């Protein structure tokens, strides 16, 4: 069936507007509960985490009502990172994990992400089945089989202790000064605590959530504040997380900002040298820079590309037996340690590399020169599909031909917003700007009334 409410990362939208209403969240919870509680027994459990958005309270309660109505027992984690939900779903032998978060979006948005009992995000087929159940009458459990909800206090502590085990026991962060910007989001307690307990001097930003300031001029979508703090405090490294802490942006000691491609390049090289990079392959998306692909090829390694979405990166990693992947935006997936992108664990791995190598962050974050890349987002009117317009298709073909042998072109609809993303890479920046401008103008003309 055609999916109507699931996007590239669960369900997402504006809070109190369909599909992110309390009524729909209740039905989504009931549909998910019915999908996972197929044997009719009353032994099933689901863990629910959330970030710090005000609307999280509403959605948490609605999901809990729906899940318990179908007999699921709910364990409420409170504010925890998305990767903690994946970890705890598997660790606590839950049938289902749910994270209430819109990731890097502003506070007025929210979302619902699902994890299976193995701790990995649900695939398209499972989401389609849940949506099929959602479109029908959902039979409730018998009165004696209604589930119960329990708020647990130790979930974050379990994740914190696990995070510390992902670097060698003998590795301490003593002597390192680290700025960590938690985006006023889900990791506002966990991230500073882990870094401090491992010995670092911690300068914490974005740790005062009020329900409305998540991702507001802070975190991975606005790393400038952390870069300034790095320079002013003479810090060795800056770590910027997003609202649910599944992505990371790093800042070197000079205040220069680096994204997921440079992190994957470093980890790919180090793991290959250590003989721990499965299949000599890194998995990323079509958005990753051409420079990363060329760098890995120069090392005798392979970059496999997927469509955009860390879920699709993980699916390819699992299918191919690979253990390192991610996105340019900062999702770093290390399946030796986590089932989804984990910004905190990626930061710890980078700090461990600094200690082991004795190199500064500025050296480790400059593995390759990035090919100039330009991205423009073109907003569409409702119901418009400019990519099916023959005139737009002709313009795209013309500019694709101009880039043959010198770069590449990628045009795709957003999975979460009414946008067409026009991206190109090319060594010739004048050509790059011209290609993106001309295509964006054509898309805008066709995509607006």
Which residues are tagged catalytic? 103
Q: For residues 184 and 56, is the Cβ–Cβ distance under 8 A? A: no
State the Cα–Cα distance between residues 259 and 249, nearest whole angstrom. Answer: 5
> Cα separation of 7 and 116, whole Å?
17
Q: How many angstroms separate the CA atoms of 331 and 288, rounded?
A: 11
CA distance 323 to 219: 26
Contacts of residue 447, Cβ cutoff 8 Å, sequence gap at least 6: 378, 379, 380, 381, 384, 385, 386, 420
281 Cβ neighbours under 8 A, 6+ residues apart: 301, 302, 303, 304, 320, 322, 324
| 396/313 Cα distance (integer angstroms) | 27
| Structure tokens, 104 | 């890097």
Distance of CA 19 to the CA centre of its chain: 20
What Cα–Cα distance (Å) separates residue 138 from each residue in 26, 28, 31, 134, 423? 11, 10, 7, 7, 43
8 Å CB contact between 9 and 111: yes
Neighbouring C-beta atoms of residue 84, cutoff 10 Å: 33
Helix (H, G, I), strand (E, B) or coil at 49: strand
Please, what is the angle between helix 82-91 and helix 155-164, to 10°? Answer: 100
Q: How many CA atoms lie within 13 A of 362 on its CB side?
A: 9
């Amino acid at each position: 069936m055609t999916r109507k409410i699931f996007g590239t990362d669960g369900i997402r939208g504006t809070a109190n507007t369909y599909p992110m209403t309390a009524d729909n969240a209740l039905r989504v919870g009931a549909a998910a509960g019915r999908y996972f509680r197929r044997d009719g027994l009353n032994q099933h459990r689901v863990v629910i985490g959330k970030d710090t958005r005000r609307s999280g309270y509403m959605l948490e309660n609605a999901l809990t009502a729906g899940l318990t109505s179908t007999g699921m027992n709910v364990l409420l984690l409170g504010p925890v990172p998305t990767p903690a939900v994946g970890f705890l779903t598997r660790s606590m032998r839950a049938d289902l994990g749910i994270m209430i978060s819109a990731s890097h979006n502003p506070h007025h948005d929210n979302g619902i992400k699902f994890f299976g009992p193995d701790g990995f995000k649900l695939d398209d087929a499972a989401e389609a089945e849940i949506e099929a159940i959602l479109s029908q009458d959902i039979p409730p459990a018998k009165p004696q089989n209604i589930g119960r909800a329990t708020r647990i206090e130790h979930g974050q502590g379990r994740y914190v202790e696990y995070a510390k085990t992902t670097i060698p026991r003998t590795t301490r962060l003593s002597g390192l000064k680290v700025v960590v910007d938690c985006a006023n989001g889900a990791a506002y307690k966990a991230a500073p605590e882990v870094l401090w307990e491992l010995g670092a001097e911690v300068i914490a930003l974005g740790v005062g959530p009020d329900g409305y300031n998540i991702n507001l001029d802070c975190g991975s979508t606005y790393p400038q504040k952390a870069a300034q703090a790095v320079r002013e405090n003479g810090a060795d490294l800056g770590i910027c997380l997003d609202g649910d802490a599944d992505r990371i942006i790093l800042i070197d000691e000079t205040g220069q900002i680096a994204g997921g491609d440079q992190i994957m390049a470093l980890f790919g090289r180090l793991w290959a040298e250590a003989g721990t990079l499965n299949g000599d392959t890194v998995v990323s998306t079509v958005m990753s820079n051409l420079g990363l692909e060329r760098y890995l090829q120069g090392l005798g390694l392979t970059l496999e590309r997927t469509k955009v979405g860390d879920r699709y990166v993980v699916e390819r990693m699992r299918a191919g037996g690979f253990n390192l992947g991610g996105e340019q935006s900062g999702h770093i997936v290390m399946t030796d340690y986590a089932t989804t992108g984990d910004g905190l664990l990626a930061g710890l791995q980078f700090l461990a590399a600094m200690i082991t190598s004795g190199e500064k962050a500025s050296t480790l974050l400059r593995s390759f020169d990035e090919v100039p890349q330009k991205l423009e987002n073109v907003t569409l009117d409702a119901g418009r599909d400019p990519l099916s317009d023959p005139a737009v298709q002709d313009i795209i073909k013309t500019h694709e031909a101009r880039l043959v042998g010198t770069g590449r072109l990628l045009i795709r609809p957003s999975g979460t917003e009414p946008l067409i993303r026009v991206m190109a890479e090319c060594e010739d920046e004048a050509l790059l700007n011209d290609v993106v401008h001309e295509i964006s103008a054509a898309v805008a003309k066709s995509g607006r009334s």
